[in-house]
Amino acid sequence: MRIVVLHGSTVCGYHSGAPEPFPPIPSAVTVGSYDGLHVGHRKIIDTMITRARELDLRSVLVTFEPHPRLVLDKSSACPVRLLTTIEEKIAHLEATGLDLLFVVRFDPQFAERSSQEFIRDVLVGMLGARQIVVGYDHGFGHDRSGSGSTLKSLGAEHGYEVDVVGEVFVGDEPVSSTRIRKLLVDGDVREASACLGSPYLISGMVVDGQKRGRQIGFPTVNIRPSHPCKMLPAKGVYVARTVIDGKAWRAMMNIGTRPTVSDDGTVTVEAHILGYSGDLYGHQMSFQLLDFVRKEQRFASLQELQSQLEADKKRVELYRE
């Protein structure tokens, strides 16, 4: 999968940042923020890739970085909590067979483009769109004024056709990023993972912690999420899984303020990796959240905390996927 970034009107290599030659090639295209890459998103992407193969076109996914709401909504530092960082998106998409990931560097200037300009200049002019696949609730362009209907109305003029993919249900409800965020707020990572199509992922750098866990027999790796607006689930203890040097390890992850040992209110992400004893400082790691164990609570002493952690560890060890 090739990855390029659109800065203004210049196409650059994702890692190098250097300008790259980028002639339009007949393509099947889908476009959206794709936060979460949930099962609804995956149906759209799979449909687009299938159409590309049927029509002998290049398959292209257009997404935006940063998330448009982080640029346009100034109501808070994190007006949207991200289900997937750009790095997590790339990791998911590598396995799909996608030919090109086209990352638009989203800024206030780009946001002023109308939906018609975006279709003409980017989807058709730069990417050579011949087939465009979007979801039933798709919106794009200035004030999200563009829709599947907009795309269809301009199709004859610009020489492309449009497929609109309908809702996908898990249980009795349609899947959406909003639904998944609500599930994570409740700590329901199993239902969230069902909606996502894979376990919810938290990725980041291993950083120094206070080493309190080591003092009571539960050394942890402290994870600094790779984006400050990454969505964290409800505070508590979780069953998790990580991969180190190609080997999968079960982990007991705690997300919260550690009220027994700290009173500054800072939310931390730390994991005790069962049976692992190596040095991971400075490593980039990813953890899949498999199930919820218990809510965060304050204990009267470190001894009480240690006893509870022993019980939590048993539950993590006995968990069956």
The domain spanning residue 66 has which CATH number? 3.40.50.620
My answer on whether 158 and 276 are in the same domain is no
* pLDDT tens-digit series, residues 51-98: 999 999 999 999 999 999 999 999 999 999 999 999 999 999 999 999
Q: Is the pLDDT confidence value at 261 over 90? A: no
Mean pLDDT of the chain: 93
pTM: 0.92
* pLDDT tens-digit series, residues 120-175: 999 999 999 999 999 988 766 555 655 677 888 899 999 999 999 999 999 999 99
176-211 core/surface letters (b: 16 or more CB in 10 A; e: else): bbebbbebbeebbbebbbbbbbebbbbbbbbeebee
Domains held by the chain: number: 2
Give residues with Cβ within 8 angstroms of 36, minimum separation 6. 83, 84, 177, 180, 196
Report the pLDDT value the prediction gives residue 144, as an integer from 0 to 100: 60
Assess if residue 59 is contained within a domain. Answer: yes
Assess if residue 192 is contained within a domain. Answer: no
My answer on whether 34 and 134 are in the same domain is yes
* pLDDT tens-digit series, residues 274-317: 999 889 999 999 999 999 999 999 998 888 999 999 999 999 99
My answer on whether 139 and 214 are in the same domain is no
